[in-house]
Amino acid sequence: MPYSLVIFDLDGTLADSLPWFRRNVNTVAARYRFRPVVDEDVELLRHSSTAEVLNHLGVSRWKLPLIARHIRRLKTEQAASIPLFAGVEAMLATLAAANIRLALVSSDTEANARQKLGASAQLFTAFDCSASLYGKAKKFKRVVKRIGANPAEVIAIGDETRDIEAARTAGIAFGAVTWGYAAEKALRDRQPELVFTRMEEIVERLVVTQAAAS
């Protein structure tokens, strides 16, 4: 079925924030007293679920809101050092031109998201930001209801295993991108409806293929 609404994640999907995260994570770890991330940990963590990552780092669940707020502040201060991935603006413009509505659900703030997206922000019908670590399912449902979309025609696109779980809870499809935080195998193991290995594939699968099928 063609998708009429695409709900994007921001970090690791549209914005290339993994290098920024790796530069800052151990400062955050020292502040909130969890295990620092060493180079040898990175691939292990990219193949792990969110719960496994938290357990590996020894992050107490009660600290999660504090850590999230601190990271949002850091992103606001250092927004200029987190670029969009190459091809994002063209991809979003092509989807919008094909009458596919765009929304954004992110753990970052709406202000940070709009700043990163720049002129592309005007292409989005809805923003629902500042999601908690496990809070995206509720936001997905809220965006779908607000826009009045048929859940069967909605796909969320993101880069983390928890995003797949959130989409399933919300009753919508999921497209996994392989250029973000989670490893491709970890994403494929959870059987998302679509997997994108290149930015251009988003248009190829959601616009070109759908147009040919109709």
What's the pLDDT at 212? 56
Look at residues 34, 27, 38 and name the one whose alpha carbon lies nearest to residue 58: 34
All structural domains of the chain, each given as residue ranges with its CATH number in brackets, are 5-16+83-213 (3.40.50.1000), 18-81 (no CATH)
Q: Please determine, for residue 213, whether its predicted confidence score (pLDDT) is greater than 60.
A: no
What's the pLDDT at 214? 55
Look at residues 41, 39, 59, 63 and name the one whose alpha carbon lies nearest to residue 50: 59
Q: Please determine, for residue 193, whether its predicted confidence score (pLDDT) is greater than 70.
A: yes
Q: How far apart are CA 69 and CA 107, in angstroms?
A: 10
Please state the rounded mean pLDDT for residues 24-36.
Answer: 93
Q: How far apart are CA 18 and CA 50, in angstroms?
A: 15
Q: Which residues contact 185 (CB under 8 A, 6 or more apart)?
A: 47
pTM to 2 decimals? 0.92
Q: How far apart are CA 58 and CA 158, in angstroms?
A: 25
What is the rounded average pLDDT for all residues in the chain? 93
Break the chain down into helix, strand, coil percent, rounded to 5. Answer: 55, 15, 30
